[in-house]
Structure 1
């Protein structure tokens, strides 16, 4: 998944980004509201982590603009403001969750997973499709009782495809979801990860089809 972190503290942003990247997420950082707007105009995001106190304004204004424009990207507010009134305020403005600084990285990761599950309409962590079960928390794919471990990019690629079976994703769309601006990506990177995931899915009823000239889609036999 691709995250946008709107945070002016470079140290905190780097620490959070490093932790999320270990889970296979791509993370872009914006140090101000204007930078955040530029990022959103250039790429799609699965989740936004938003500080409230930023050099060029209040994160609540950014949140309000996103929701008035009917942009439904999940937003988790991260702030040192701990008053109940502050939490109620941002939740009423349309935030999906609220995390008070300082926070534990494990809690942040859990809240990200919960928000993304709700967005996908899933209440359970384990997903089932075409003869396999998939648990993103353990990075484990199980086919016919046999567990198969997924590497980070393979895991995130499967999450993307599994969220919309039969939908065609272009290489550009998959690159946007899997890699951040800071990462150098070769033309065949997506082909490599698709090939690896196809091998992991062998023995199930799921297939990753190549739609010539368009991209890839996850289908069931």
Structure 2
């Protein structure tokens, strides 16, 4: 399950998008301003942050700065109603940032959640086994063996 922060000042949009996120069985917290988003980021960790670019008290880039201070591993997706904005934002925010066009396409947001979950699983495996990363059958057998022998009190 992905923990999502949705930052947008359009109440109708956030209500509809939050409902979609919940129907896809993810947790969502809504913030309607830069200040509210900063408060949320200080209080909890999110796997995915959906950011509107223009907010009443600033921009999504200000939220991005705060996010990087607290959680550099969160996925970021800017939400915009303008296709031309995408290229400008990508040049400033970097290629790792995703984009969703308003109105939100359910298939695109589902695809974004799948990417976030796959990355989270890879990170969890890497964290659990340190620097060992891999999904091949040989690596899976190694992980199983490590799990089994790690419970033993025998000296190596």
Residue 6 (structure 1) aligns with: 7
- Structure number with the higher strand fraction is 1
Is 1:37 the counterpart of 2:66? The answer is: no
Aligned residues between the structures:
129
Residue 86 (structure 1) aligns with: 88
Residue 135 (structure 2) aligns with: none
- Structure number with the higher helix fraction is 2
Q: CA deviation at 1:87?
A: 4.2
With the length of structure 2 as denominator, give the TM-score of the two structures: 0.68
Distance in structure 2 (CA, Å) of the matches to 1:95 and 1:56: 25
Q: Any gaps of 5 or more consecutive residues in structure 2?
A: 129-146, 152-156
Q: CA deviation at 1:101?
A: 1.8
Q: CA deviation at 1:115?
A: 3.2
With the length of structure 1 as denominator, give the TM-score of the two structures: 0.50
Residue 19 (structure 2) aligns with: 18
Residue 54 (structure 1) aligns with: 55
Residue 108 (structure 1) aligns with: 109
Q: What per-residue deviation string (whole Å, max 9, x for no partner) do you get for residues 59-83 of structure 1? A: 1232234336662211111112311
Q: Any gaps of 5 or more consecutive residues in structure 1?
A: 123-162, 168-218
Distance in structure 1 (CA, Å) of the matches to 2:35 and 2:96: 19
Distance in structure 2 (CA, Å) of the matches to 1:121 and 1:16: 27
8 Å CA contact 1:48, 1:75 repeated in 2 = yes
